[in-house]
Amino acid sequence: ETGVTQTPRHLVMGMTNKKSLKCEQHLGHNAMYWYKQSAKKPLELMFVYNFKEQTENNSVPSRFSPECPNSSHLFLHLHTLQPEDSALYLCASSLQLLTSGSYEQYFGPGTRLTVT
Amino acid sequence: SQQGEEDPQALSIQEGENATMNCSYKTSINNLQWYRQNSGRGLVHLILIRSNEREKHSGRLRVTLDTSKKSSSLLITASRAADTASYFCATDAASGGSNYKLTFGKGTLLTVNP
């Protein structure tokens, strides 16, 4: 148990569906992240929020829409996804980003997404 | 690319043996971190080593960093079957402006046979 929870743990959705992934951290961190993990590829950073402000969007398609209402919660809204978007989506949190570098990140268990 | 590359891609050893995994990267870093992932689960942070440090220990883990060679190694001593997992190095560097971000490698899959 890392103090970061994600729901749902598994999600199957059609290409025309709209769904949301939720992440919650109980660690008092101010930075939150979404990553995508596909088979045989490195972990890909998607979005970063620091004190609720988006500080990184790693050229992610607009069919992925993040939302960070406060420092403890992070959502990833999904719509009109493609089969190649099937992957493990991981949320992480850390102490706030600094101009001098990053702290260690704490990951949730992930949401296994399958797009049919 | 700043991405770290782990070597080997896969490693299979017997319980009790030591396991060594290496990570190489291309540009200057602020720190380097090692993570572990059990199959289909989230990553767990193991060790963070700063660019001005050469070696760190945590229990059965030993990490070295050679910034002149842009490489790091993770040594797990007296391995156990429960150490079976994928191990990732992540390099922390400025991504533009004042922001830093971690960039992960593809990982080393370690299998420890009982």
pLDDT of residue B97: 59
Record: contact A97-B92, CB cut-off 8 A: no
Tell me the average pLDDT across A34-51. Answer: 91
Burial B34-53 (b: 16+ CB within 10 A, else e): bbbbeeebbbebbbbbeeee
pLDDT of residue B98: 59
Tell me the average pLDDT across B75-100. Answer: 88
- With a cut of 90, say whether residue B108 has pLDDT above it: yes
pLDDT of residue B101: 84
Identify the residue whose tokens are 């009982």.
Answer: B114
pLDDT of residue A91: 97
Spatial separation of the C-alpha atoms in residues B3 and B105, rounded to whole Å: 6
What tokens were used for A34?
């979404």
> Does A24 lie at the interface with B, CB-CB under 8 angstroms?
no
Burial class (CB in 10 A: 0-12, 13-18, 19+), B113: exposed
pLDDT tens digits, B17-48 = 999 999 999 988 989 999 999 988 899 999 99
Beta-carbon pairs below 8 A across chains A and B: 66
Tell which phi-psi region holds residue B92, choosing left (phi > 0), alpha (psi between -120 and 50) or beta.
Answer: beta
pLDDT of residue A57: 86
Closest chain A C-alpha to B78 CA, distance in angstroms: 25
User: Distance of CA B66 to CAs A31, B52, B101, Å?
Assistant: 29, 10, 20
3-state secondary structure of B67: coil
Closest chain B C-alpha to A56 CA, distance in angstroms: 8
pLDDT of residue B79: 97
Spatial separation of the C-alpha atoms in residues A34 and A99, rounded to whole Å: 20
3-state secondary structure of A83: helix
> Does B108 lie at the interface with A, CB-CB under 8 angstroms?
no
The answer to whether B94 and B30 have CB atoms below 8 angstroms apart is: yes
Tell me the average pLDDT across B47-73. Answer: 96
